[in-house]
């Protein structure tokens, strides 16, 4: 999950590792980080703004 000033950069590094290993990935980040994370968002499977949205995606995939 992206947010909290510095934690987001550690999360971005973890997400990059997952992308490089071809792991499916959902990232969760607030709307104010859309511009800052646009390159990363373009490489993941799904980008959402809330945890409930991520749960909805997982429910759909595993239906």
pTM more than 0.75: no
Among residues 2, 5, 7, which one has the least CA distance to residue 27?
2
Helix (H) or strand (E) holding 16: helix 7-20
pLDDT in tens for each of the 63 residues of the chain? 555 566 667 777 888 899 999 999 998 888 887 777 788 888 899 999 999 999 999 999 998
What are the pLDDT digits (tens) for 14-30? 888 999 999 999 988 88
Cβ(40)–Cβ(12) below 8 Å: yes
Cβ(13)–Cβ(40) below 8 Å: no
Gap between the Cα atoms of 55 and 38, Å rounded: 22
């Amino acid at each position: 999950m992206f947010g909290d000033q510095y934690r987001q950069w550690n999360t971005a590094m973890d997400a990059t590792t997952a992308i490089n290993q071809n792991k499916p990935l959902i990232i969760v980040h607030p709307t104010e980080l859309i511009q800052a994370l646009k390159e990363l968002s373009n490489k993941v499977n799904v980008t959402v703004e809330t945890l409930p949205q991520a749960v909805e995606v997982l429910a759909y995939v595993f239906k």
